[in-house]
Amino acid sequence: MKTEMKVAVVTGGGQGIGKATARILLGNGYVVIIAESDREAGRETEREYRAVGTIRFVHADMADEEAVKAMIRDVIRQFKRIDLLVNNAATSANKPLTSLSLNEWNRVISVNLTGAFLCAKHAAAHLKRTRGSIINIASTRALMSERDTEAYSASKGGIVALSHSLAISLGPDVRVNCICPGWIDVSGWKKKRGRKKITLSAADHHQHPCGRVGKPEDITSLILYLASPASGFITGANFIVDGGMTRKMIYA
């Protein structure tokens, strides 16, 4: 009897950590739907990964509930199930507090935090049927800050809290976990038109207690584990993957 393939939805799957996530899931037998607001990035990733497995690009704004509902509806119509939701889509508006407009603040919160809520809300019933899981991508900005990151940091702090709340509300059928990446070099995972390989200095690497800047694979390997039965006793957890930087005291 043929085993039914698992289906994953990855928001913000056209670039960065989302694109790397799509790649590792495809390589491990998942059907992958990448929800992406950037049409160019989404189509490019879909074309690039067709040889790896079954991938579909859906153009959607995560801040638009009707768009999220339509995306989930289309996934179910095509593939009949959802086993994994990776809420990764994010935007930012990093500028001085007095220059940050209410519209800019609302947009960041709407995409980063409300978008994760909307995807969870409309995928929940389908995830319950498959006893699937949700993995939310937050940031170490939820725990520490540089200047002028109020909207982004607030949205990511909300993701951490949303994750443990969802874990309680949706358990035991659906496990929900959160990952807070630190500095991850995604320069090689951008769309081709905007791809610029950055040069990392020795100081960039050495300031990390583990001795290097992070790679997308550092995050995607954890996503794969948290989506697997091997992590069946883990829910409501937040994993900090930052090379130890949030544990480092820094004095001038």
Instruction: Using only the alpha carbons of the chain, give its radius of gyration.
Output: 18
Check if 152 is active-site. Answer: yes
Spell out the SS3 assignment of the chain. Answer: CCCCCCEEEEECCCCHHHHHHHHHHHHCCCEEEEEECCHHHHHHHHHHHCCCCCEEEEECCCCCHHHHHHHHHHHHHHHCCCCEEEECCCCCCCCCHHHCCHHHHHHHHHHHHHHHHHHHHHHHHHHHHHCCEEEEECCHHHCCCCCCCHHHHHHHHHHHHHHHHHHHHHCCCCEEEEEEECCECCHHHCCHHHCCCCCCCHHHHHCCCCCCCECHHHHHHHHHHHCCHHHCCCCCCEEEECCCHHHCCCCC
Closest to 9 measured CA to CA, from 101, 177, 122, 172: 122
Distance CA 7, CA 26 (A): 10
Options 49, 152, 225, 251, the catalytic residue: 152
Q: Catalytic residue positions?
A: 152
